[in-house]
Amino acid sequence: MGFAELSIADIAAEYNLDEQAVFKLCDRFKINYKNERTCLALEDAKTIIMEILAVKTNSEAK
């Protein structure tokens, strides 16, 4: 499995989220991390980003 050049902090900053929100998503999807600088595996980063986009799309549609 390849690694994305995205850390938890990078994802939080890109999508204007608190790092704690990204930690919660990692916990929900059972993605291991040490801290906000942890670089995620490519598939894990995609999972987190897809969930963030899905939630944003759902909230904008209302």
Total number of domains in the chain: 1
pLDDT at 59: 83
CA–CA separation, 62 vs 49, rounded Å?
20
CA–CA separation, 34 vs 51, rounded Å?
21
State the residue range of the domain holding 43.
3-61
- pLDDT tier, 62 (very low <50, low <70, confident <90, very high otherwise): low
CA–CA separation, 62 vs 44, rounded Å?
28
Instruction: CATH number of the domain at 10, please.
Output: 1.10.10
pLDDT at 1: 62
What is the SS3 string spanning 10-60? HHHHHCCCCHHHHHHHHHHCCCCCCCCCCEEEHHHHHHHHHHHHHHHHHHH
pLDDT at 61: 77
pLDDT at 52: 97
6-58 residue pLDDT tens? 999 999 999 999 999 999 999 999 999 999 999 999 999 999 999 999 998 88
